[in-house]
Amino acid sequence: MSNTGFQEAILQCIVERISVGIVAVDGDMNVVLWNRFMEIHSGRSSGELVGRDLFSCFPELPRAWLERKLRNVFQLGSFAFSSWEERPYLFQFPHNRPITGGVDYMQQDCTFIPVKDASGKVVRVCITILDATDTYVYQRRLHEAMGALEEASRRDALTGCFSRAYLEEQLALEFHRVKRYGGELSLILFDLDHFKRVNDVYGHLAGDEVLRTVIDRLRRPIRSLDLLGRYGGEEFVLVLPGTELGSAMMVGERVRMLVAQEPVAFQSALIPVSISLGVTTLRSEVKRYED
């Protein structure tokens, strides 16, 4: 075998055995190469596809986008790329990950490579398909974990309502929004009555249960846009965007009644609970949200 023939045999072996999809098309979009990776994942052989129009064989391909991409490579003679982050997949290939991974098809990174003749004219475009599903899954898990951490940083660990830092951050945003665009903004500050006595008589675990129960009782009646946060100890703040003083007073009374409607059960004890609260609304003379 000549050296040229040996090199061609090596290249052919690599193309067929590499764990990357390789498909090439000519200027008429006819398939001229379809390697083993593509055969395995598509279920269609090279003999079936070579010489046929790519889009007729795979009508589910994004024809307008893909044909434009290929034409650009033919005309410009430069490489082009497509990441799974931009377009999740080109070919609808199945993947071998669990269904619970949340991915329908193999996620793919694609490279578009111009193949030139001796005169420098692009006569073929080779598309490589890299399975990026693992990367997608890991990235998704990372984003979910980061989102969970971010959400946890916003929440009070005991009661699950917003933390003081996040509450003040959002209150500042609401304050500046109303100052700039107008509108109403009210605030309710409340604390549990005689909470030290609850801890002293029933224990700190009982006190924790009282705090959790009080916040659970208040989750349903408040709006999704209202902000409920723990200011410190047994003190809590309820921020009411778009709410004038009269309506805020009504909310405050409803909150007070909901908390006091029944005692908190802890082990064999029934612990009576009530709150004291103050209601205020944003006035024009207030210059800082802290005020």
Catalytic residue among 234, 235, 262, 290: 234
Told to judge if 234 belongs to the known catalytic residues of this protein, a careful annotator would answer yes
Distances from the Cα of 174 to the Cα of 97, 177, 276, angstroms? 45, 5, 25
CA end-to-end span of the chain: 89
The tokens of 94 are what? 């199945």
65-70 long-range CB contacts below 8 Å, 24 or more apart? Answer: 66/90, 67/29, 69/112, 70/25, 70/29, 70/112, 70/125
Of 7, 31, 11, nearest in space to 127 by CA: 31
172/206 Cα distance (integer angstroms) = 34
- Cβ atoms within 10 Å, residue 267: 9
Quickly list DSSP for 60-92.
Answer: TS-HHHHHHHHHHHHHH---EEE-TTTSS-SS-
Name the residues annotated as catalytic. Answer: 234
